[in-house]
Amino acid sequence: MTLSAVPASLRLPPWRALLLRPAGLTGTIIVAIVTVAALAAPLIATHDPIAVDLSRKLLPPGATHWLGTDQTGRDIFSRIVWGARPSLAVGLLAVLIGAAGGIMFGLTAAFARGWWEQVAMRIMDGLASIPLLIWAIAITGIVGIGPVRIGMWTFPNESKLILLIGLLYMPPLARVTYGSALLEVRADYVQARRLQGAGASAIMLGDVLPNCLSPVIVQATLLIAVGIVVEASLSFIGLGVEPPFPSWGGMLADARRYIFSGEWWTYIFPGLAISLTVIGFNLLGDGLRDILDPRKVSGSGRMVV
Amino acid sequence: MFVILGRVLSSLGVLVAVSIVLFTLVHAIPVSPARVVLGGDASEEDIAEFERDNGLDRPVIVQYLSWAGGVMKGDLGRSLIDNTVIAVTISQTLPVTLELVLWSFCLALVIAVPLGVLSAYHEDRWIDHLARVVATLGVSIPTFWLGLMLIAWGAVGLGWFPAGGYVPWSAGAKPHLLSMTLPSVSLGLYYVAIISRMTRSSVGDVLMADHVRVSRAMGLSRGRILIYVLRNALSPVVTVAAMSFGYMFGWALIVEQVFTIPGMSRALLNAIFRRDYLVIVNVVLVITAMFLVANLIADLLYRWLDPRTAR
């Protein structure tokens, strides 16, 4: 990169710069489609996703059943549309928990320094040394498969996943917050705000946090993709979303025996739904990184799972 | 030396903390393991007798310490459901999982490192774009769906590979390797993506360094420069690779389910569906230990390859 040319991304508002890049545009479109599908599932789905009709089982894609039917005659298109809900719920809620905790630890560690910095970052190191997938399996295994009842509320089985993934998302998000907050805390404007008499929490949340958010947003977008893959994988082995409720991973678990008998629509479409959704969030995350954090090579610096 | 000792001790500390959390979780559930094993219609006396026989009526701390003492001596206890020795179950299934992980790991390295180096050398050329597409697909396609598609293509379509199952070495090298090919590819692709991007970014950084420009100006051969570049760029790649090795054990469980390979996943999932909690705890602990060892090796390799970080 030459120094004389100011990158286009610095002159445009970020969302314009994002949509001008093919990767960013593709990612945004895919994420928008999946979000609309999840929110408006009852309006978009053409059939009841759990209505069994054995007389219509394993129909190939056609006019009434756009993507065919599964082994109990359920409409695959409708199940894919409804299946967007648990996928996005796990992906988004886990990242929200992780971001809330990660920002809290990262920001206060950079701000307070001293013993709290040590304690907070050592807690994050400890959490980072726990392998996500094994523990997602272990938690459901130990607590047991089934809904969680707390008082008058009943939470679905995948809420255990959301809590665990959210907890393990804290370290990467805390580290990026901490890294950029350390630089910001030394900046002149923070000193100026102190002299104005602003309180520590006002400076932290009102001034420093907005300046640290770019890398957090990039990382969070990429982590949504990870959460969706983990949810689908656990639903596939029967530890995630419980049947008969539709989930992409669960649909593939039902469909695996049809690989041998040729009903390709049962295992192609749910897999495409997962892969395209995850590609969408990854492209969006990489696109955001190119704009907000242009020094990084796109695709590097991911949380590995 | 003290640094290394400190890292070993902190890994052990995490392992102890993990085992305490696991044990606490098991005992935080209101339902007694005895109730789970004996079923809903067992009488209170049966439950009490079962708990007494298996030492479940002792305080949790005593149970933990007696189990931890056994683990030190290599005795992981017995399954509460069928009384099998857990150490035997693990010693039968771990080698299978380990072999799958090793193949995938080698495959990932052999593809990812050259791909990353080539794309860094030819920035914004077709190989770089190809590598980027491979990386995006690799991190996006879930391993289990990739496995299903590989079965549909390589086993059902072409008939070159078995659709699943595990053929031991004793049945011949060729059938054995054929049975491991598709699982290794499905497990490895994600890590090809991760490691190739790391290589690309690390080699790209070193290529911009002054010493590379000087070497070029001095007229050193491309191969000679490549060696210098690799030596400087390799330490973050080695770290990511070693960590990937630890993470692979998790995904190996999913891949084993797709290809019905009798590794750790069979032991773990059987235990989960039967609520055989002592087996769950031990299997999870063994895999977490594998993961921590991989992380420890990653850390030590990083210090050894890049002495600047040791300070």
Q: Could you write out the DSSP letters of every residue in B292-310?
A: HHHHHHHHHHHHHH-GGGG
**Can you tell me the ipTM of this complex?**
0.88
Domain shared by B301 and B202, yes or no: yes
Q: What is the pLDDT averaged over residues A182-189?
A: 88
d(CA A295, CA A270): 36
d(CA B123, CA A112): 42
Residue of B nearest to A232 (CA): B142
Residue A184 included in any domain: yes
Place of tokens 């086993």: B155
Q: What is the pLDDT of residue A27?
A: 94
Q: Which two tokens stand for residue A170?
A: 């804290």
Domain shared by B46 and B121, yes or no: no
Say which CATH number the domain at A76 has.
Answer: 1.10.3720.10
d(CA B263, CA B254): 10
- Which of B243, B273, B280 is opposite residue A138, by nearest beta carbon? B280
pLDDT digits (tens, 9 = 90+) for A95-147: 999 999 999 999 999 988 889 999 999 899 888 888 899 889 888 888 888 88
- Which residues, including other chains, have CB under 8 Å from residue A294's CB and lie 6 or more apart? A7, A9
Provide the strand spans (E) within chain A: 148-150, 153-155
- Which residues, including other chains, have CB under 8 Å from residue B298's CB and lie 6 or more apart? B238, B239, B240, B241, B242, B243, B246
Q: How far is CA B211 from the centre of its chain?
A: 37
Domain shared by B294 and B145, yes or no: yes
For residue B140, the distance in angstroms to the closest alpha carbon of chain A comes to: 5
CB of A40 within 8 Å of any CB in chain B? no
pLDDT digits (tens, 9 = 90+) for B48-106: 888 787 777 788 888 888 888 888 887 888 888 888 888 898 999 999 999 999 999 99
Residue A129 included in any domain: yes
Residue B297 included in any domain: yes
The four Cα atoms A4, A8, A13, A18 give a dihedral, to 10 degrees, of: -140
CB of A139 within 8 Å of any CB in chain B? yes
Q: Do A275 and B271 touch (CB under 8 A)?
A: no
Residue B83 included in any domain: no
Domain shared by B101 and B214, yes or no: yes
pLDDT digits (tens, 9 = 90+) for B14-41: 889 888 988 888 877 767 777 777 777 7
Residue B77 included in any domain: no
Domain shared by B170 and B270, yes or no: yes
Domain shared by B152 and B270, yes or no: yes
Q: Which two tokens stand for residue B264?
A: 């750790």
Residue A200 included in any domain: yes
Say yes or no to pLDDT of A299 above 70: no
Domain shared by B104 and B182, yes or no: yes
Say which CATH number the domain at B232 has.
Answer: 1.10.3720.10
Burial label for A1, CB within 10 Å (0-12, 13-18, 19+), is exposed
Domain shared by B105 and B44, yes or no: no
- Which residues, including other chains, have CB under 8 Å from residue B245's CB and lie 6 or more apart? B101, B105, B294
**Enclosing domain of residue B32:** 2-72
Residue A31 included in any domain: no
Domain shared by B143 and B43, yes or no: no
For residue B287, the distance in angstroms to the closest alpha carbon of chain A comes to: 8
- Work out whether strand A148-150 and strand A153-155 pair parallel, antiparallel, or are unpaired: antiparallel
**Enclosing domain of residue A227:** 67-280
Residue B8 included in any domain: yes
Write the Ramachandran bin of A197: left for phi over 0, alpha for psi from -120 to 50, otherwise beta: left
Residue A215 included in any domain: yes
Residue B80 included in any domain: no
Quick one: pLDDT band at residue A1, thresholds 50, 70, 90? very low
Residues of chain A numbered 245-274 and touching chain B (CB < 8 Å): 249, 252, 255-256, 259-260, 264, 267, 271, 274
pLDDT digits (tens, 9 = 90+) for B240-297: 898 899 899 999 999 999 999 999 988 898 888 888 888 888 888 888 888 889 888 8
For chains A and B, CB pairs below 8 A equal 157
Residue B88 included in any domain: no
Residue of A nearest to B129 (CA): A298
Residue of B nearest to A281 (CA): B140
Domain shared by B116 and B67, yes or no: no
CB of A286 within 8 Å of any CB in chain B? yes
pLDDT digits (tens, 9 = 90+) for A31-62: 999 999 999 999 999 999 988 888 888 889 98
Residue A56 included in any domain: no
For residue B87, the distance in angstroms to the closest alpha carbon of chain A comes to: 18
d(CA A156, CA A149): 9
Residue B160 included in any domain: yes
Q: Do B201 and A300 touch (CB under 8 A)?
A: yes
Domain shared by B47 and B125, yes or no: no
pTM as predicted: 0.90
Domain count, chain B: 2
Say yes or no to pLDDT of B215 above 90: no
Substitution target in B254, B260, B274, B290 with the highest count of A β-carbons within 10 Å is B254
Say yes or no to pLDDT of A225 above 80: yes
Output DSSP code: residue A149: E
Mean predicted lDDT score pLDDT of chain B:
88
Which residues from A are below 8 Å from B26, CB to CB?
142
Substitution target in A134, A248, A283 with the highest count of B β-carbons within 10 Å is A134
Residue B82 included in any domain: no
Which residues from B are below 8 Å from A304, CB to CB?
194, 240, 243-244, 247
Among residues B142, B263, B29, B54, which one has the least CA distance to residue A140?
B29
Answer whether B33's CB lies under 8 Å from B47's CB: no
Residues of chain A numbered 157-216 and touching chain B (CB < 8 Å): none
Domain shared by B103 and B164, yes or no: yes
Domain count, chain A: 1
- DSSP track, B116-177: HHHHHHTTTSHHHHHHHHHHHHHHHS-HHHHHHHHIIIIIIIS--S-SS----GGG-HHHHH
Quick one: pLDDT band at residue A7, thresholds 50, 70, 90? low
Residue A21 included in any domain: no
For residue B232, the distance in angstroms to the closest alpha carbon of chain A comes to: 18
Q: How many CB atoms lie within 10 A of CB B141?
A: 23
Residue A50 included in any domain: no
- Which residues, including other chains, have CB under 8 Å from residue B156's CB and lie 6 or more apart? A259, A260, B163
